[in-house]
Amino acid sequence: MINKSQVEDHRYIEEDEIDLRELWQTILKGKKIIVTITLVIVTLTLVYALKLPNEYKSTALLIPTADDSKLSSLAGLGGLAAMAGVRLGGGGSMTPDIAFNSLINNYDFMKNFVINNKIVEHYNDKNVDANYVFALGFRGVYDLFRADPASATDEDYNYDEEVFDLIEKLQKNFSVSSDKETGLIAVSYNDRDRAYAPKMVNLFLKDASAYLVQNNLRIIDEKLSYFYKELETTDGFELRQSLSTMISTILQDKVMMQSKVYYQCDVLAAPSEAYIKDKTKPKRGLILIVSFVTSIILGILLVFFLNFIRDEKIAS
């Protein structure tokens, strides 16, 4: 014997099947619209993907050699941290990776870095894209949409604004990371010109190290001056011996700091030009897949929307 609930469940299933059939029929009726939208969007996406040059990463691997305990008590990096825009607690020590990251995010340092190394002039050079690499080695689409870089002769050209925009770009392209297990520090830069990327890493490490060492040496010299004065006015033998030991340690640290190529680091692997196939972006295949799926969804939604409008007109 069939009860009432079973009959209702059967009716609901039939209604669902009818609704699904109607939806599928609507999609089939609008397949031309869906195919057209898909072809248009995927074609435009393909043009966009072909227009994008490859981007390459160059990385320097550094071995930190700093003794944190000495730096905390002698180098006084708390003041340096404040200069670089980082607030430290406790001992006030700053590891090289934190120091480099701080300078990347420090506008004044980056402004001097960009101006002193004429980076604006490099990116505004008409031949800046001569070494760009494209999919299948075809750069015709890029050249078709290519715009000439800004020039100082343009009426609306603003150098300060150009520097500001470039600094934002550099801050995105630079990255500094530290491996917790090995302690190695990786300083990387992304660029469309795979030959310019390692040059940028070297320029940054050179300028950042000079800035950090200069500030650290100033702090050390202030400490030495203070300890020398104390040594001249102190009579106790043990205290004089302790001060002499501290001065000797500071002088050793000063010499060691000046002997490093980069700030408190030895070079494990210098930045090099990436292999032509070892690009970081763009992910053209992924871009096309996302575009294809999205275009189909948009096409289906448009078909349902047009069908809804048509039904509304018929009903009215």
The residue-averaged pLDDT of 219-241 equals: 75
> Exposed/middle/buried for 158, CB within 10 Å: 0-12, 13-18, 19+?
exposed
| Per-residue pLDDT, 17 | 53
Helix axes 31-51, 284-315, angle to 10 degrees: 150
How far is Cα 68 from Cα 208, in angstroms, rounded to an integer? Answer: 19
| Per-residue pLDDT, 234 | 73
Which residues make up the CATH 3.30.1890 domain(s) of the chain?
Answer: 53-269
SS3 182: coil
Nearest to 268 by CA among 179, 204, 197, 207: 179
Which tens digits make up the pLDDT trace of 84-121?
A: 443 433 334 578 999 999 999 999 999 999 999 999 99
pTM: 0.74
Contacts of residue 88, defined as CB under 8 A and 6 or more positions apart, other chains included, come to 77, 78, 81, 94
Residue range 53-269, CATH number: 3.30.1890
At 174, is the pLDDT very low, low, confident or very high (cuts 50, 70, 90)? very high
Task: Specify the range with the lowest mean pLDDT, choosing from 6-15, 98-107, 214-223, 303-312.
Answer: 6-15
User: Would you state the structure tokens that stand for residue 288, as one six-digit string?
Assistant: 């096309």
Q: Are 170 and 110 in contact (CB under 8 A)?
A: yes
| Per-residue pLDDT, 154 | 66
Task: Output the CA torsion sign for 222, 226, 227, 231.
Answer: positive
What value does the mean pLDDT of the chain take?
Answer: 82
Task: Specify the range with the lowest mean pLDDT, choosing from 9-13, 44-48, 190-194, 274-278.
Answer: 9-13
